[in-house]
Structure 1
Amino acid sequence: MPRRAVGALMAAAAATPALAQTAAPGRWATSWAASVQGPYPVGNPSAQPNQSFAFPTPAEGARDQSLRMIVRPTVWGPQARFRFSNALGTRPLTLDGVFVGLQHGGATVMPGTSQPVRFGGQGSITIAPGRDAWSDAVALPFAADPASPLLAGRKLAVSFHVAGSSGPMTWHAKALQTSYATAPGAGARGAEETDAAFPHPTASWFFLDAVDMMMPAATPVIVCFGDSITDGTASTMNGDDRWPDVLQRRLHGAQPNRVAVVNAGIGGNQVVGPPEYTPATPFPGGPSALARLERDVITLSGVTHLIWLEGTNDFSRNGNATAEAVIAGMRRGVATLREKLPGIRVIGATVTTALGSTSAAHGFAEQDQKRRALNDFIRNGGVFDAVADFDGATLDSATGQLRPEFVPDSTTGGPGDKLHPNRAGYVAMGSAIDLAALRL
């Protein structure tokens, strides 16, 4: 964003100092999320740079260093708050020197936008293993007019210092977004606005797992829940081209800054497996969908909708689940959602084909038979409020495989695996969702 554009935002803030007080009654709405897993390096990152300079010893994790996580809110409000997670850690995690500002480019923060973040009025927080913590509300002067078109698509730089050694790190492996870290031992550098202190890139998010914005009380929050095809494997790095991103841009075009769309996908995730997930017994695909519903959906702020796309990994050679087990798991998951979030609208998404995949765990006929049985349940089982037909949007009916134009890998430029749609496929999926079926 040019400096004059930031100046325009700050001028708008100065001209409307009472905006937050005079707007309609508000509530917290989750604007961005990243489902956590771990401990690092267990997971399925994409396009990951060499992490050995930033994190030489996974058991020690981050050591007296600062991280700058780059995230894209899907709606903006005049105040924000941030959730930090030590869910898969084994030691207390102490964070201090926490700041948030507008990203300029790379690890640079737009001058004049950085704001300190506090916890119960204090400048630091210690999070016990297995727990998470929300920050205090932070005023965002550059977002005093949240509907400003200058904010649409902008990204936040959330910086924090890990005091001491974190131990095993809670992370989200497949960010498909470049974030940054200082060298170990560099100390608290989050207040600095330039690139110089943050030389080490990462394609993952660490510790930060949700961002809330203060929004009008009626703001819908749509959670997109699933595996790598929701997480965005084979989409463009830093391109925000996952199908949830496409859906968010469609909704923003129709109703600017009104509907939040957050991504709760984890690459390799399953509906019913693995049976156990702890720091001592991790799994690259994260905890099962059923095990993570509470943390990754129910405890997010203001959730009104869920779109569930999952099952491929359950039917792979890694999962070996029956169609009946996955169908029963989905029934339990939807029942839990309706119990904990009365009034939630749950949309079932048909599972895209993996037939013919070059992945050793996918692509065989039995997997496809189970997939088609699951899709029949999603379409006709009476459990979901509506259906998003991603299978219909991506299937080549002549071969039973992905349409050829959806195969080449947009992240690496490689040939693709016939399992993960590329950018063109994700655009087709995000465009196939009937916005009227959301009943916003």
Structure 2
Amino acid sequence: MRTMLGLLLAVTMLAAPAMAQPPEGWVTSWAASVQGPYPVGNPSAQPDQRFLFPDPAQGARDQTLRLVVKPSYWGRQARLRFSNAFGTKPLVLDGVHLGLQLGGAAVVPGSNQPLRFGGKEGVTIPPGGMAWSDPVALPFVPEGQGGLLQGRKLAVSLHVAGESGPMTWHAKALQTSYGTAPGGGAHGHEEGEASFPFSTASWFFLDALDMTAPAGTPVVVAFGDSITDGTASTMNGDDRWPDVLQRRLFERFGNRVAVVNAGIGGNQVAGPAEYGPEKPFPGGPSAGARLERDVLSLSGVSTFIWLEGTNDFSRNGNASVEAVQAAMRDGVARMRAKFPGARLIGATVTSALGSTSPAHGFEEQDRKRQALNAFISQGGLFDAVAEFDQATLDAASGGLKAEMVPESTTGGPGDRLHPNRAGYLAMGMSLDLGAVVPGLR
């Protein structure tokens, strides 16, 4: 079983002689925008969570979670960010490990690395807070050949000591992760899967993964709602439109660009007006309220693609076009202030006309959507436009193209709101790579 890691290390030893390397820094390789507290949110294909988390008020209780994530860029060192943003009591984590996923809850033998926090084994994160781990070396990433691991996934194991209380989470992972029974203790150091009988389709407490990379490595952030988060795409299939974009960039440029998904299912640009542990909302905080944590605080952001507005115009949002435009202007101004050289791309909002969702599909919503799209395309706010509406629209019906409607996760008929795998593929393929990462050769 140790041959896989041995082969990777052998590739490292056979690499070309060392030459002067450009300066390195941190880039965000994966992220998950947090919301909460659990179970408020919009997960997809969620297994029954009663055995993993019997009491949401207690949250995780002396148990280990093994969260599976897929880096978009591979470097030789990593660090992780843990969040208690929507917790109401201190979150105590220890026994944190990072390893290469073998399959299921098992990690590749020899790859599991312990993480420290200021040199200590554990960390206590106050309510509303977050904490970065110390950097950890990844010996299974070959020197200068991180692309060999493209498509592989990491298993991040963390032990919640005591009771977490209300849990900060990302509901719609569309990725299976694993957990021990409550009271099961610390098992993050284990390589096997025997201690992890329960599964979840969400991520908990973990919201960012950084890798070391040459200075100037581009980081593309996809920001939006469920159509960025990936509703109706394939469970464990990694076929959201940001995933398609990432693979295209890797095919063109190799292991030189990171793509981060900052979508939250149900998210709005301008609402809700209030959000917090005592007043949650399934769609998470408004775009403006979460921009600092989910985008501005990430490492190395160079491109920002914003696809959002459908939920503002739903019966849940009831926002005016003017309110959404004003919130977008404010978000773009904050982006330009923090990242003056960043490329800002506005994406046209896809149609929900005829949706079977009670909150969507009516004509007024579509008129507002079209007005927002005209603003995005012609308002001069963005540096470029991603024509997602054009890529998915059936001109005859005014809704999504028929082949983009059936649900890819459950096999259901679809809701005529969320594109399926075929729709996300068309969206990802429609992007001009030169507009996304201008100047990269």
Smaller-chain TM-score bracket: over 0.9
Q: Distance in 2 between matches of 1:17 and 1:159?
A: 34
After superposition, what is the alpha-carbon deviation per residue over 1:47-77, rounded to whole angstroms, capped at 9, x for unaligned?
A: 0000010100000000000000000000000
Report the Cα offset of residue 341 of structure 1.
Answer: 1.7
Q: Distance in 1 between matches of 2:409 and 2:416?
A: 14
Which residue does 2:406 correspond to in 1?
408
> Per the alignment, in what secondary structure is the counterpart of residue 375 of structure 1?
helix
Which residue does 2:397 correspond to in 1?
399
Cα 1:166–1:174 change in 2 (3 A) is same
After superposition, what is the alpha-carbon deviation per residue over 1:160-194, rounded to whole angstroms, capped at 9, x for unaligned?
A: 10000000000000000000000001111000111
Q: Distance in 2 between matches of 1:6 and 1:198?
A: 23
Q: In 2, are the aligned partners of 1:146 and 1:257 still within 8 Å (CA)?
A: no
> Which residue identity does 2:407 align to in structure 1?
D
After superposition, what is the alpha-carbon deviation per residue over 1:236-258, rounded to whole angstroms, capped at 9, x for unaligned?
A: 00000000000000000001110
Q: Distance in 1 between matches of 2:158 and 2:144?
A: 25
Which residue does 1:218 correspond to in 2?
216
Report the Cα offset of residue 24 of structure 1.
Answer: 1.6
Which residue does 1:364 correspond to in 2?
362
Which residue does 2:89 correspond to in 1?
91
* TM-score, structure 1 normalization: 0.98
> Per the alignment, in what secondary structure is the counterpart of residue 424 of structure 1?
helix
Report the Cα offset of residue 145 of structure 1.
Answer: 2.5
> Which residue identity does 2:6 align to in structure 1?
G
After superposition, what is the alpha-carbon deviation per residue over 1:221-247, rounded to whole angstroms, capped at 9, x for unaligned?
A: 000000000000000000000000000
Do structure 1's residue 272 and structure 2's residue 279 form an aligned pair? Answer: no
Which residue does 1:63 correspond to in 2?
61
Report the Cα offset of residue 148 of structure 1.
Answer: 4.5
C-alpha RMSD over aligned residues: 1.4
Q: Which structure 2 residues correspond to residues 138-217 of structure 1 after superposition, within 5 A? A: 138-217=136-215
Q: Which runs of 5+ in 1 are unaligned?
A: none
Q: Distance in 2 between matches of 1:263 and 1:357?
A: 25
Q: Distance in 1 between matches of 2:155 and 2:144?
A: 17
Structure 2 counterpart of 1:309, from 284, 307, 310: 307
Report the Cα offset of residue 3 of structure 1.
Answer: 5.5
* TM-score, structure 2 normalization: 0.97
Which residue does 1:348 correspond to in 2?
346
Do structure 1's residue 109 and structure 2's residue 142 form an aligned pair? Answer: no
Cα 1:148–1:79 change in 2 (3 A) is closer
Report the Cα offset of residue 22 of structure 1.
Answer: 5.0
Q: Distance in 1 between matches of 2:34 and 2:131?
A: 14
Which residue does 1:11 correspond to in 2?
10
> Which residue identity does 1:167 align to in structure 2?
G
Do structure 1's residue 74 and structure 2's residue 72 form an aligned pair? Answer: yes
Which residue does 1:25 correspond to in 2?
23
Q: Distance in 2 between matches of 1:246 and 1:339?
A: 29
> Per the alignment, in what secondary structure is the counterpart of residue 251 of structure 1?
helix
Report the Cα offset of residue 437 of structure 1.
Answer: 1.1
Structure 1 counterpart of 2:418, from 406, 420, 423: 420
Q: Distance in 1 between matches of 2:99 and 2:151?
A: 14
> Per the alignment, in what secondary structure is the counterpart of residue 367 of structure 1?
helix
Which residue does 2:333 correspond to in 1?
335
> Which residue identity does 1:10 align to in structure 2?
L
Q: Which runs of 5+ in 2 are unaligned?
A: none
Q: In 2, are the aligned partners of 1:13 and 1:141 still within 8 Å (CA)?
A: no
Q: In 2, are the aligned partners of 1:147 and 1:256 still within 8 Å (CA)?
A: no
Q: In 2, are the aligned partners of 1:171 and 1:207 still within 8 Å (CA)?
A: yes
Report the Cα offset of residue 144 of structure 1.
Answer: 3.3
Structure 2 counterpart of 1:34, from 25, 32, 35: 32
Report the Cα offset of residue 86 of structure 1.
Answer: 0.3
> Per the alignment, in what secondary structure is the counterpart of residue 331 of structure 2?
helix
Report the Cα offset of residue 23 of structure 1.
Answer: 2.7
Q: In 1, are the aligned partners of 2:221 and 2:259 still within 8 Å (CA)?
A: yes
> Which residue identity does 1:250 align to in structure 2?
R
Report the Cα offset of residue 343 of structure 1.
Answer: 1.1
Report the Cα offset of residue 18 of structure 1.
Answer: 9.6
Question: Identity rate of aligned residues, in percent?
Answer: 70
Q: Distance in 2 between matches of 1:95 and 1:148?
A: 29
> Per the alignment, in what secondary structure is the counterpart of residue 168 of structure 1?
coil
Which residue does 2:129 correspond to in 1?
131
Which residue does 1:258 correspond to in 2?
256
> Which residue identity does 1:338 align to in structure 2?
R
Q: In 2, are the aligned partners of 1:38 and 1:282 still within 8 Å (CA)?
A: yes
Out of 5-14 and 54-63, give the one that drifted further: 5-14
Cα 1:213–1:339 change in 2 (3 A) is same
Q: Distance in 2 between matches of 1:149 and 1:273?
A: 40
Report the Cα offset of residue 331 of structure 1.
Answer: 0.7
